[in-house]
Structure 1
């Protein structure tokens, strides 16, 4: 007798970046429960700068360094997920997955819930001194003089789905990771549920692209698609978050949480499918090289789009590592001008700052008149005659390695209150440490991956 294939797997995404809406998970979980069957909830909360900032927070507090909104995101749905056997996978561990897992453990205890089995995925963080003999020669060989004088803040490899799948196979109800690749949050559950091998390239590629569609949350449900009068999206204020239904061969249907706004359409899914894909025939991930050059999308129902035709090739031999390093200071200042000749007064204020701040390369924006289309060198601003904009916000920014030099800019912008030109108001200034990023490749075998069940959880 031929065994029946495993049940399709539902994976809902409740966050697409750090700082995403904290009420997104509720409707997704409601929908997963209503549909029934095996299901996962994923939260994707990392970006390159997000992770470096998390490393800085961990430096200041060894118990910090994970997603700041973890409690707000997870608490509203934790009890229901555990009760309905919806397992949770996320990279909200950021720079400190163990601390995030302990926080969830304490959260569950405080809510009177049975202790969940929480797995911590480790291996991506190459920031410690023990990794320097491996990382520093590779950085120097690949990046050369770009490494001169830098002070590293963090170094993290983009790891794949295998450790997630192994943790789920071991019975984890919640998996907390750091810098796993975004699609791997979907690939890991699919590998575990369907029992796929780590070299089942076509299936892994299909699940990877399902994860790619999920990874930005509401983006695929119309959020980043909306453009009034051109690409209409209903009830954007209540936009839903996506759910992928994945079959045993990795093919998927993308839908969204029930009774939410937004739209899952062919055009919107096409945009997300091509988002950040450098080569449609060779989309590199730690798990597989995905080929979407023959992919097919079809609308199979209201707010339901099917993806097929994805193929896969052997995964890369190397893993990408992002190295964030100290980049000096970013100084910013803003002041508003309104009424007759507002734009001319804003331009005069910018010229005053240029003359008062020799040695600083200023970025000048006239918000409301000339900003997005400007350039850091100020060429367009200098060669564009003043218009008649009557509501202009002047923004001036500069970076410098020396904090004392950068601090000159906020002081000079504040001085415009009384030193002119006329009518300036609403000054805001800031001074923040700047982080820069370099990337290199490391051999896959140099990044051993593992998972550990949180101590004390039975």
Structure 2
């Protein structure tokens, strides 16, 4: 039975580039997929495009393409990515510019658009998962991007694209599009689409499945994490998958790493809603078939819902933050006093906050006072963060922490402060009909 090899070149926007190069050089790939978008990433990309209409795509797109395109062209590896973010057309033009500089004549680059549904969001006052409505956001609304499916990616590949660049395609759809194209799967073959979604879900986070997110020293040891290899999916025509990696690369592929990734970010394994299918992971079987080789089968599916998860980006507020360190005997007591001083100063000077956090990092920052048990640390770092309605108010938070240098407990050092606008994300369900997928094909 025919099979193809798909490599996962990135699991998030800022991921390492070297493992993708290793995959292209030594992975024997047919496809190299870069999954680089998250809910908040797309909203920030839309915001960046408002400031620069030519921008809004992944900031590492050029570096990644420069690193892998010559290898992929030489080895006939096709590249699929959602690095287009808020501007797939701009990303495609930037990729063409890189290809021209590299002398890759004849390279075809497809830009897939249609996920930007801001106009439809404004026209349909839908309820958000945070209790608000789209109309209630008013002029704070920044973006609306629907999670689109595999069909448009498969169409781009059928049109001869060597590189396919999308916006907010669903993460598994980047991989599923390859399978639909290669194997001619029908878009109503629900069990194949369900198993293909298993493939995409397992590979989408790259180094997580090869031990990156899995590692826990003394409990789950993973070798050579500094040279972590990213995964390869060997996928048969029937959807059966073997997860592996480049021989000699760091990390590991085991049934345990695969099972952890299978359940990652999954609410109900029997109903994983995707643009193309409602996938059912409940009957998936995992078996080790060799060193760093794990066989995965049993994914199923049911008809898609006809609704697309849509990320709504909006300006929520501003956040001001300040940090300072204390060390030596009594460090925790001095840190607590410093926080008390800042709280009182904010009240005395009338700083308006809607939310305020005062933490001792290393003592209570994650789990509150319930975590401050046992021996006292030798060093501690205070952090004060507050949500405000204006940037000017946010700036005052860090300023008050910084003044502890000369107006607070002894021995404070390493002050740091920031103030920034917060772009928040909420979700709603948009009818699939709100998206009008389009394909633009550029040639070098």
After TM superposition, the score normalised by the length of structure 2 is 0.95
2:388 equivalent in structure 1: 400
Residue 158 (1) aligns with residue 147 (2): yes
Distance 2:391 2:363 in 1: 31
Aligned residues: 438
Please give the per-residue CA displacement for 1:77-98, whole angstroms capped at 9, x wherever unaligned. 2012112211000000001111
CA–CA separation in structure 1 for the residues paired with 2:143 and 2:290: 45
The equivalent residue for 1:94 is: 85
* Aligned residue in 2 for 1:8: 3
Name the structure 2 match of 1:118: 109
- Which residue is equivalent to 1:104? 95
Matched position secondary structure for 1:102: helix
Instruction: Measure, in 2, the Cα distance between the counterparts of 1:142 and 1:427.
Output: 35
| Kept in 1: contact 2:111–2:164 (CA 8 A) | yes
**2:420 is paired with a residue of what secondary structure?**
strand
Q: Which residue of 1 aligns with 2:67?
A: 76
For residues 374 and 243 of structure 2, the distance between their equivalents in structure 1, rounded to whole angstroms, comes to 49
Q: Which residue of the partner structure matches residue 271 of structure 1?
A: 260
**Shift in Å at residue 148 of structure 1?**
2.6
Q: Distance in 1 between matches of 2:195 and 2:106?
A: 34
Q: 142-151 or 333-342: which moved more?
A: 142-151
Q: CA deviation at 1:131?
A: 3.1
In the TM superposition, residue 385 of structure 1 has moved relative to its aligned partner by 9.3
Question: Do the aligned residues in 2 keep the contact of 1:344 with 1:386 (CA within 8 Å)?
Answer: no
Partner residue of 2:194?
205
Pair 1:123–1:426, CA change in 2 (3 A)? same
Q: How far off its partner does 1:74 sit?
A: 2.0
> What is residue 15 of structure 2 aligned with on the other side?
20
Correspondence for 1:324: 313
Once the two structures are TM-superposed, the CA of residue 146 in structure 1 deviates from its matched residue by: 7.5
Alignment root-mean-square deviation, CA: 1.9
The CA deviation at 1:140 is: 7.6
Measure, in 2, the Cα distance between the counterparts of 1:278 and 1:384.
31
Q: Which moved more, 1:86-95 or 1:57-66?
A: 57-66
Counterpart for residue 362 of structure 2: 368
8 Å contact 1:245–1:252 — kept in the other structure? yes
- Tell me the equivalent position of 1:391: 379
Which of residues 227, 231, 254 is equivalent to 2:220?
A: 231
Distance 1:384 1:171 in 2: 59
Q: Tell me, in whole angstroms, the C-alpha distance in 2 between the residues paired with 1:76 and 1:96.
A: 21
The answer (yes or no) to whether the contact 1:143–1:440 under 8 Å persists in 2 is no
Describe the superposition over 1:259-301 as per-residue Cα deviations: whole angstroms up to 9, x where unpaired.
2010000011000001111111111111111111111000011
Change in 2 beyond 3 A, CA 1:415/1:387: farther
- Partners of 2:121 and 2:367 in 1: CA distance: 42
Where do 1:292-441 residues align within 5 Å?
292-358=281-347, 359-360=352-353, 361-374=355-368, 380=369, 388-441=376-429
In the alignment, the residues of structure 2 paired with residue 266 and residue 100 of structure 1 have an alpha-carbon distance, to the nearest angstrom, of 37
Conserved 8 A contact 1:367-1:393: yes
Is the contact made by 1:140 and 1:147 (CA closer than 8 Å) also made in structure 2? no
Following superposition, the deviation at residue 30 of structure 1 comes to 2.0
**How far 1:242 sits from its partner (Å)?**
0.4
Alpha-carbon contact 1:22-1:69 (below 8 Å) kept = no
Separation of aligned partners in 1, 2:251 and 2:14: 20
Asked if the contact 1:289/1:315 (under 8 Å) is kept, the reply is yes
2:204 to 206, 215, 224: 215
SS in 2 for 1:431: strand
- Matching residue of 1:377: none
CA distance in 1, matches of 2:300, 2:180: 16
CA distance 1:106–1:385, change in 2 (3 Å): closer
SS in 1 for 2:313: strand
Partners of 2:17 and 2:375 lie apart in 1 by 42
Contact 2:283 2:298 in 1 (8 A): yes
TM-score by length of 1: 0.92
* Equivalent position SS for 1:183: helix
